[in-house]
Amino acid sequence: MKKILVLHTGGTIAMAEDSQTGEVSTESTNPLLKVSQSVGLETELIVEDFFYIPSPHITPKHMLALKERILSALSEGIDGVVITHGTDTLEETAYFLDITIGDKIPIVITGAMRSSNEIGSDGLYNFLSAIRVAASDSALNKGTLVVMNDEIHTARYVTKTHTTNVATFRTPTFGPVGLVNKHNVSFYQQLITSHTLDVTTVDARIPIVKAYAGMEGSILDILSESDIDGLVIEALGAGNLPPQTLPAIDNMIASGIPVVLVSRCFNGVAEGVYSYDGGGIQLERKGVLFCNGLNSQKARIKLLVALNANLTKDELTEFMIEQV
């Protein structure tokens, strides 16, 4: 029998709807605790009510605490970890665990779009699916996975795409890596291994800025002056910026602030294609770091980890631009 560590952190999966007002909020005790011991699967669950908060309240410090609990549990004979989490920031926590823990043990994160007492509530079903995946031998060496709505996604590429639909978690460009079927857990894609970096701190100020038609450099100048440690820009198309932003980008890079670029497009990867003013080729030559295939919130987590891992400038560049 597999031994699975369950860490509940809160979110809609652990909330209830008030039948009078329709408001959804946390209860006096997490409703998932009632079901955790009687799920009827052939697994031993070690359940911890780790946090009980909505996921917009999750910070990198919470992610670090989860990472430390999982690492300490490795010596407790567990076979896998399931984390229940609010869906709003689930992908960030998942990616943080993926790049700091790697594939030491299967880690599966799940949540729900409907609270525990709503008609069609997806929480218990997703929770059971997550346990099945974490307990499956096929989940070994795959890093952190996100299981929702019968699909298995990598932490690296999955993103929340819909405000309310239960099929909200999608992997643009690449698709899900596996399925939770009635009787089996099946993977259909071979995963690429990326570098992991363990960190003990998560201190860095890294804003995300989205590029738009007519964007000027002044917003970037304001950020430069406000003591930031790095910047993530959601650039246009294949990875281009309006030319008016270039002086501000130059100043930032000259003052040692890493500038990381992803595309604001939902599909595809950012790369240097154009050599016109503000085109990706120019940006790459200036030292802008193209973070391949990640969305901005995950590129931010990656830079946060890199800045806390005491890397040299060259190591940081290599880590941020690796092709994953």
Coarse DSSP helix, strand, coil percentages of the chain, rounded to the nearest 5 percent: 30, 20, 50
Catalytic residue, candidates 9, 43, 84, 87: 87
Q: Given the residues 12, 84, 100, 245, select the one marked as catalytic.
A: 12
Nearer to ligand ASN, 11 or 230 (CB): 11
Closest CB to ligand ASN: residue number: 86
Evaluate whether 154 touches 145 at the Cβ level (below 8 Å).
Answer: yes
Nearer to ligand ASN, 79 or 122 (CB): 122
- Residues within the interface to ligand ASN (CB under 6 A): 11-12, 54-55, 86-88, 111, 113
Enter the tokens of residue 312.
Answer: 């040299």
Per-residue buried b or exposed e for 64-75, using 16+ beta carbons within 10 Å of the residue's own CB: bebbeebeebee
Q: Is 88 annotated as a binding residue?
A: yes
**Least distance in angstroms from the C-beta of 220 to ligand ASN:** 30
- H/E element, 5: strand 2-8
Residue 16 C-beta: closest distance to ligand ASN, Å: 13
What is the crossing angle of helices 90-101 and 296-307, to 10°?
40
In sequence order, what are the residues at sequence separation of 6 or more whose Cβ sits closer than 8 angstroms to the Cβ of residue 231? 206, 207, 208, 209, 220, 223, 252, 257, 258, 259, 260
Which helix H or strand E contains 62, and what residues bound it? helix 60-73
Neighbours of 184 (CB within 10 A): 11
Determine if residue 87 is labeled as part of a ligand binding site: yes
Q: At closest approach, how far in Å is the CB of 161 from ligand ASN?
A: 13
Minimum CB distance to ligand ASN, residue 183 (Å): 28
Answer yes or no: 12 catalytic: yes
User: In the 8-state DSSP scheme, what is residue 178?
Assistant: E
Beta strand spans in 171-311 (E): 178-180, 185-187, 208-210, 231-235, 259-263, 289-290
Cβ proximity to ligand ASN: between 43 and 87 the closer is 87
User: Between residues 93 and 308, which has the closer beta carbon with respect to ligand ASN?
Assistant: 93
Quick check: is 87 catalytic?
yes
Among the listed residues 272, 265, 219, the one whose alpha carbon sits nearest the alpha carbon of residue 245: 219
Task: State in angstroms the smallest separation of the CB of 12 from ligand ASN.
Answer: 3
Contact 180, 133 (CB under 8 A): yes
- Residue nearer to ligand ASN on the CB measure, 102 or 111: 111
Binding site residues for substrate, as ranges? Answer: 55, 87-88
List active site positions: 12, 87
